[in-house]
Structure 1
Amino acid sequence: MEPSGTVPTTHVRAGGQVATRRTLPEETPVAMVYDGTTHAVMMASPTDIEDFATGFSLTEGIVTGMDQLASCETVAHDRGIEARMWLTGPRAEALNARRRTLAGPVGCGLCGIDSLEQATRALPVLHRQGPALTAEEIASATDQLCGWQPLHDRTHGVHAAGFLLPGKGVILAREDVGRHNALDKLIGALARQGLDAELGAFALTSRVSVEMVQKCAMAGCTILIAASAPTLHALRLAEGAGITVAGFARGKEFDLFSHPERLEAEFRHVA
């Protein structure tokens, strides 16, 4: 499936209108199928599906490591895509014990969760030091993502999540119509390439909502940098999980909301 397509449209502005064409992002149902049973259906961009399936499996706690995911294949249908995964014995048994079905429209990563306990599940606490970043690295992180967004350049309608290493900048990114899907794809890509999320930071083109903090914690990443704001609930979760949150990161500035210890010392207490 193509990630975008061109459609006719009428551009209206003061003084008249003109016929033109726009390139828009595609979205399609992606079924996460474990051991022959559908566990979740997410609306997503039809790209990097194995990365998406791997990241989703890790951030949902279905597996805790790549060795528990025996195999993964992508099967396209007329109505969507199946990511067919097979788990090792103990993880398959654990999934059967907590089996649930969710439907995740692109605007909300928690839609379809069938209990409040699942929406507010306990997170790993990442109080280890983690990497240290300069103020310049944090401020420029989302700007660096611009060079990793070919689908956004065509459509202006998708999000991106990138992985930033100290001293190297953004080295990997993934795009999707859903911000949480983009982060799952990035986490899956890191896992499949053997890259440790603990060594760097996640950079987002979106706001920091609850599910973004949850996914960050599950991946073991201690720094989350975003172009927009965190929600209050997300910030409370980040504080408790030991995650550094920087928001409104654009150009040469940002707001540091939590755990300033990972910012180089001379910038921590600037008024």
Structure 2
Amino acid sequence: MDDSLDDEQERGVAEQQVRRWRGGSVESTVDQVGQEWPVALVFNGISHAVMMCTPRELEAFAVGFAISEGIAERGSDIRDIEVVFHREGLALPYAQVELTIVQQAFAALKERRRALAGRTGCGVCGIESIDLLDLSPERVPDTGFLARLAPDAIARAAHELPSHQTLTRMTGGLHAAAWCDAQGAISLAFEDVGRHNALDKLIGRLVLDRVDTTSGFVFLSSRASYELVRKAARVGIPMVATISAPSSLAIAIARQAGIRLVSFCRETSYVEYSPAGGD
């Protein structure tokens, strides 16, 4: 059992011997791939979920997961966090994040577990009945942020994001979630093999740093899925921008929540699916 990671693991990448074929020739070389570990999330001593993610920024990930999945309503509901890494003598290393949450939140979690056969990171897997699907997002408050949004904010975010994707440049295979201000400047960015995990890490850091989540927007390197928009609604984020396409349910949830959803974001163009104040 280890409570720390070595330098390579802290980077979230691993080296892999490969044979590269190019132009009819082949060479043996070393490539870098994104790490994917099982991460167990334990609340008050009870294991709730095992997620597959990149083993870095796990404290922020656990907080973001707890908040965005409705296990805790606010950061103050989480009293303690401990991250433990297990790897010695194991074919598959894993991490465990142990969270202590307030009794009211824990009681609600135990009640919720009675209705779930299991839980994964896909947002709806493990639900025994369609009646348990949460399609009623919180309404995001209008704080005037969208009115202050610069006309070129999306273009600026699209331009800046690649410079924050260190692991993606190394591996070519990770997702990113960035926090942008009204001018589109990126102040925080997290990467992970899972797009949901990247967003949870971002949300967790915003909560831990007590950042006003209504004062900026999220820029994602992935498509816009139901789960991502639902997570943003839970913490009051007024706009979600993505590089790739949205799903029909993501658009519907954004409209219910009053979130502005824009996709296919580039430096010169984007497509708006859910205008501000839409319903």
Is the TM value for this pair above 0.5? yes
Tell me the residue number matched to 1:242. Answer: 258
CA distance in 2, matches of 1:113, 1:50: 26
Query: Please, which runs of 5 or more residues in structure 2 have no aligned partner?
Result: 88-92
Is 1:20 aligned with 2:29? yes
CA distance in 1, matches of 2:244, 2:101: 37
CA distance in 1, matches of 2:144, 2:235: 13
Deviation of residue 89 (structure 1)? 1.6
Note the 1:98-137 alignment, pairs <5 A: 98-99=112-113, 100=116, 101-104=118-121, 108-126=122-140, 128-132=142-146, 133-137=149-153
Match of 1:36 among 1, 20, 45: 45
Deviation of residue 260 (structure 1)? 4.4
Contact 1:69–1:86 under 8 Å retained in 2: yes
Tell me the residue number matched to 2:111. Answer: 97
Moved over 4 A (4+): none
Deviation of residue 127 (structure 1)? 5.3
Contact 1:138–1:246 under 8 Å retained in 2: no
CA distance in 1, matches of 2:261, 2:47: 34
TM-score, length of structure 2 as denominator length: 0.88
Which digits, 9 at most, give the CA deviation of each residue in 1:149-188, with x for residues without a partner? 2111211110010110113611111111000100000000
Give the number of aligned pairs: 259
Higher strand share: 1
CA distance in 2, matches of 1:125, 1:64: 15
Which digits, 9 at most, give the CA deviation of each residue in 1:183-203, with x for residues without a partner? 000000000011011100000
Query: Please, which runs of 5 or more residues in structure 1 have no aligned partner?
Result: 263-271
Structure 2 vs 1, CA of residues 118 and 50 (structure 1 numbering), >3 Å: closer, same or farther? farther
Contact 1:140–1:249 under 8 Å retained in 2: no
Contact 1:145–1:170 under 8 Å retained in 2: yes
User: Superposition RMSD on alpha carbons, in Å?
Assistant: 1.7
Q: Match of 2:120, SS?
A: strand
Structure 2 vs 1, CA of residues 62 and 147 (structure 1 numbering), >3 Å: closer, same or farther? same
The answer to which of 248-257 and 34-43 deviates more is: 248-257
Note the 1:1-271 alignment, pairs <5 A: 1=5, 2=9, 3-78=12-87, 79-99=93-113, 100=116, 101-104=118-121, 108-126=122-140, 128-132=142-146, 133-167=149-183, 169-260=185-276
Which digits, 9 at most, give the CA deviation of each residue in 1:212-269, with x for residues without a partner? 111110111010011111111111111111110111111221111111469xxxxxxx
The answer to which of 119-128 and 20-29 deviates more is: 119-128
Deviation of residue 148 (structure 1)? 1.4
TM-score, length of structure 1 as denominator length: 0.90
Which digits, 9 at most, give the CA deviation of each residue in 1:38-63, with x for residues without a partner? 01110000000000000000011111
CA distance in 1, matches of 2:175, 2:263: 16
The answer to which of 125-134 and 230-239 deviates more is: 125-134
